[in-house]
Amino acid sequence: MIDITFDLETCSLRPTAAVMSIGAVAWNRNGEDTPFFDERKPIAYPTFSAHVDLRGMFIDGFTFDADTAKWWSERSDEAKDAVLGDDNEGMPCSPIQAVVKDFFRWIDYVKKACDATEVNLWCQGTDFDMAILRNICYKYHIEIPISHNNFRDHRTFYMEGAAHICRLSGTAFMAEIAYDLVDAYEALGAAHDPLYDCRKSIHSTWQMMKHLSCLPDHDS
């Protein structure tokens, strides 16, 4: 089993949203000091990143909305460059169909490099990234190479894990302080850079997995 987290930066919050960029990170839930691979064996390319040609998504009827455009206009230059920086004549953005197919080929590469029989595909939340990806695949008749049984959600896992820890300790669970249970992710990068956002989610989930694995076994 190998875990992969992906993140989309989009032009809307709807399942029909146009996508500006895709980022994905393969990770090791059993890593002792870090969940991240270091670009050596077994995975030479532990990340995937690509920008999307929005012109094709506009023509094909994907959703763009004013509120999201305003939100992006208020982000930092670093964040904007992370999702649109490669759109130039020397390295043009690719159509969404090509990007998604490349993403799935990369997943297959990771699976083979790790000699894994299955892949867990993670994202942040149940109704955003995965819903948008599935809509794109449905529209272009692209098969997702991962069983829906292996779709995972960082936020639900983390919050339910935090709630379980609070119950065992007799502490009242409050969502706003749940993330105090783990160390903050500190690394170079900008929020809303897809790779940075993937790593941040992975970092919290990996720490929560460690916390849960250390809980006493009440069946013994």
Q: What local confidence, expressed as pLDDT, does residue 180 receive?
A: 84
pTM of the entire structure? 0.86
Candidates 71, 92, 61, 53; CA nearest to 13 is 71
CA angle 82, 87, 89 (to 5 degrees): 145
Longest dimension (CA), the chain: 64
Q: What is the DSSP letter of 205?
A: H
Q: What local confidence, expressed as pLDDT, does residue 44 receive?
A: 87
Q: What is the torsion angle, in degrees rounded to the nearest 10, for the CA atoms of residue 56, residue 9, residue 114 and residue 151?
A: -100
User: Residue 23, Cβ neighbours under 10 Å: how many?
Assistant: 24
Contacts of 21 (CB under 8 A, 6+ apart): 8, 9, 49, 50, 51, 52, 82, 83, 84, 194
Distance separating alpha carbons of residues 176 and 21, to the nearest angstrom? 29
Cα dist. 70→6, 52, 62, 66, 192 in Å? 24, 19, 18, 6, 15
Sheet holding 2-10, edge to edge: 47-51, 19-27, 2-10, 119-123, 151-153
Look at the block and give the residue holding tokens 């695949």.
Answer: 137
Distance separating alpha carbons of residues 212 and 161, to the nearest angstrom? 7
> Would you give the distance in Å from CA 188 to the centre of its chain?
17
What are the mean pLDDT values of the chain's consecutive 10-residue runs (220 residues total)? 95 92 95 84 88 90 81 56 52 87 97 93 94 96 95 95 89 82 74 85 94 71
Helix (H) or strand (E) holding 151: strand 151-153
> Would you give the distance in Å from CA 58 to the centre of its chain?
24
Q: What local confidence, expressed as pLDDT, does residue 220 receive?
A: 44
Residue 161 · residue 192 · CB < 8 Å: no
